[in-house]
Structure 1
Amino acid sequence: MAIASKSIEELLGDEAEDLLTHECETIPKDKLHVPSSSFVDDVFMQTDRNPRVLKNLQALLDHGRLGGTGYVSILPVDQGIEHSAGASFAPNPDYFDPENILKLAIEGGCNGVATTFGVLGSVARKYAHKIPFIVKLNHNELMTYPNNYNQIMFGTVDRAFDMGATAVGATIYFGSQESSRQIQEVARAFERAHELGMATILWCYTRNSAFKVDGTDYHSAADLTGQANHLGVTIQADIVKQKQPTLNGGYRALNKGDSSYGKLDEDIYDELSSDHPIDLTRYQVANSYMGRSGLINSGGASGDNDFEQVIRTAVINKRAGGMGLITGRKAFQRPMEEGIRILNFIQDVYLDDDITVA
């Protein structure tokens, strides 16, 4: 059976019933600020954001196939820097040309496109009025030898504003030695973006080699990523991007023996979450001010079962109370028509009224 003819249930396979019928018994859904057509009125009208920020947030939420639902589907293409252009675009060299990135986002029905100063600047006059621009301010350049994992600024907020951006994005490597500088740098940038009327999106990534304990990688643990989200919304990220959790217990693992890291309460694991993927993601939403700042999960690297993976991620995100998906490599490393289909598949999850918040 061709992927395009499969239903969401078929793509979820053996997990379909569990993922589609699960009800959270940890943090109840009535405690959340769930995405809706009136999300800006219901949530952001209470904040200190100025009218221009509200206007741009609404513009982002109103664009594309998900326009008016409160959910977002964003195409991010910063991998040319973060993972090197050759490695990122070799599967489909058409995307060395920035215009094709914009075409994919538009034809794919996305709410916005998140990419670099160079990409957006090269086609700004042709496309700034056709799709919301999200300018990524900082990147991890991958040329230093040996590789040095550090986010550095590639441009200014004012330049993003002059380019016609609706929002700016940035990454912080929470837990890294450079995180204190990055937090202060991005906090200043987000303050300036809000002054100018742009929305803010933060890639809240964890990074520290110590987060790998006894062969287990806790970079995607719900407790650590949840705290990263909480730091992100503290510097007023309107939307946080996070990897979907695959396990829990990062703080537990890092506090074994004589080691001491951070603070934890056992209720994190016993009351506020469970081993279920929807409950783990619900904990991320809770740390994003109970959804006042929208949680978008990343789609991950491309592979052989991309359609199945993105549907699973989207269902978990939506049912957990998240705001949507931000998917790049799974879309742009394919022929454009296939990339459009995979973006539309993701959007179909959020357009399906039968898939509800758990």
Structure 2
Amino acid sequence: MAHNKIVELLGADAESLLTHQCQTISASSLHAPSPNHVDEVWAGSNRNIQTLRSIQTLLGHGRLANTGYVSILPVDQGIEHSAGASFAPNPIYFDPENIVKLAIEGGCNAVASTYGVLGSVARKYAHKIPFIVKINHNEFISYPNRFDQIMFGSIRDAWNMGATAVGATIYFGSEESHHQIIETAKAFEYAHELGMATVLWCYIRNNAFKKDGVDYHTSADLTAQANHLGVTIQADIIKQKLPTNNGGYNAINFGKTHKDVYGKLTTDHPIDLARYQVANCYMGRSGLINSGGESKGASDLSEAVTTAVINKRAGGMGLISGRKAFQKPMNEGIQLLNSIQDVYLDSGITLA
């Protein structure tokens, strides 16, 4: 059984989340995270030796070192959500060094941020914690806003600053997604050639994906297909939002799906929905990391631990949580990151 503190944070959902067993896609069919993930999963792939070393570097750092799981601090919100909206709650993070310090003190496997943030402190910190350089962004100052991602630098520049990996976002479903897919695929190819790992933010964006008051941007079937497209362009790790509903294809009445997706491969249980996301990451060959979401204040800790439990029991590789950690005093941010990591260190929390 899980540690008492975790049970307490899960609250009324503790029994459902900690005792559930998947009857949809069996745990035995997954490439579940393990200390031997690189040897068992990636060694037989087309990744070159330098890339294998970079993946192992990510998996071998921080409090979760050599468990097969990762805890990553992402702070690219200064562009995606504006610096004022992101850092006003805690202005110390206008200084990039504090972002890296939070990741180090918080025991993270890596820190993910922009060319500017990581480049400004690269000589001091690139050898102390793995860097994931976020290569594209929705600059979010053009009016009206668009669902687009544009490149902010070069893969060579990320490599020159000592990055272990690069990260990118694709807004699948948006009008601009075609060029994003092409640009990101080319960028990932070059990153692998230079020996860096690749992480893809696989997000759904289209106003038509909201229907009858329901937001299907986090539908299990749509997000899982985004994952499948992400691993197709050879992302080593997939970042995805935790599913909150299902049936996006049927509700919006587009694309192609199958009745067994809803009748056999998923249920309404959050772990089963996340398991379907893992299945679309080549049954876990590419690790699924779920995002922590926006900061809501007092409920952040319990929400983060709940997401971590769902991700771990579904077969995911970890959590990537930013705003819940950096939009509060640093000591509280460290506590939140450590609480997430404690879920993955707890041997009582197993695959469902």
TM-score by length of 2: 0.98
| SS in structure 2 at match of 1:272 | coil
CA apart distance, 1:46: 1.1
Determine the structure 2 residue equivalent to 1:40.
38
Q: Which residue of 1 aligns with 2:267?
A: 274
Aligned to 1:313, what secondary structure does the other structure show? helix
Distance (whole Å) between structure 1 residues aligned to residue 208 and residue 143 of structure 2? 22
Match of 2:163 among 149, 162, 165: 165
Task: From 312, 316, 321, give the equivalent of 1:322.
Answer: 316
Using the TM superposition, name which of 148-157 and 20-29 deviates more: 148-157
Match of 2:256 among 263, 266, 277: 263
Q: Show the counterpart of 1:138.
A: 136
The structure 2 residue matched to 1:207, chosen from 205, 208, 230, is 205
For the residues of structure 1 that align with 2:331 and 2:246, how far apart are their CA atoms?
37
Amino acid at match of 2:314: A
One of 114, 117, 120 as aligned partner of 1:119? 117
- Between the two proteins, the alignment pairs up a number of residues equal to 349
Match of 2:294 in 1: 301
Per the alignment, residue 218 of structure 2 pairs with: 220
Can you list the C-alpha shifts for 1:83-124, whole angstroms capped at 9, x where unaligned? 000010000000000000000000000000000000000000
> Which of 320, 342, 349 is the equivalent residue of 1:348?
342
Contact in 1 for aligned 2:68/2:317 (Cα 8 Å) = yes
Superposition pairs for residues 1-358 of structure 1, below 5 Å?
7-255=5-253, 261-304=254-297, 305-358=299-352
Alignment partner of 2:316: what SS?
A: coil
Q: Residues 274-298 of structure 1, C-alpha deviation per residue, up to 9 Å, x if partnerless?
A: 0000000000000000000000000
Aligned to 1:258: none
Q: How far apart, CA to CA, are the structure 2 residues paired with 1:100 and 1:264?
A: 45
Deviations 1:175-211 (A, max 9, x none): 0000111000000000000000000000000000000
Task: Structure 1: state its 5+ residue gaps.
Answer: 256-260
Taking the aligned partners of 2:303 and 2:350, their CA distance within structure 1 comes to 19
**Secondary structure of 2:167's partner?**
strand
Matched to 1:273, the amino acid is T
CA–CA separation in structure 1 for the residues paired with 2:279 and 2:38: 18
How far apart in 2 are the matches of 1:158 and 1:266? 45
Specify every segment of 5 or more residues in structure 2 that has no aligned partner in the other structure, as ranges: none
CA RMSD in angstroms, aligned pairs only = 0.8
Runs of 4+ with deviation above 2 angstroms: none
In the TM superposition, what whole-angstrom CA distance separates every residue of 1:9-54 from its partner, at most 9, and x where no partner exists? 0110111011000000000000000000000000000100000000
- Displacement of 1:148 in angstroms is 2.2
Please state how far the C-alpha of 1:273 moved relative to its aligned partner.
0.5
The normalised TM-score by structure 1 is: 0.97
* Conservation of the 8 A alpha-carbon contact between 2:62 and 2:107: yes
Q: Quote how far apart the aligned CAs of 1:6 are.
A: 6.8
How far apart, in 1, do the equivalents of 2:46 and 2:114 lie? 28
Partners of 1:356 and 1:41 in 2: CA distance: 22
SS at match of 2:163: coil
Cα distance in 2 for residues equivalent to 1:119 and 1:161: 15
Determine helix, strand or coil for the equivalent of 2:170. Answer: strand
Shift of 1:59: 0.6
SS in 2 for 1:170: strand
Once the two structures are TM-superposed, the CA of residue 357 in structure 1 deviates from its matched residue by 0.4
Amino acid at match of 2:52: L
- Contact in 1 for aligned 2:147/2:176 (Cα 8 Å): no
Q: Secondary structure at the match of 1:43?
A: helix
- CA shift, 1:149, in A, is 2.5
Partners of 1:201 and 1:148 in 2: CA distance: 23
For 1:110, the aligned partner's letter is: C
- Give the superposition deviation at 1:147: 1.8
Cα pair distance change 1:6/1:83, threshold 3 Å = farther
8 A contact 2:110–2:129 mirrored in 1: yes
Q: Is the 8 A contact 2:216 2:246 kept in 1?
A: yes
Distance 1:307 1:328 in 2: 12
Q: Matched residue of 1:177: which SS?
A: coil
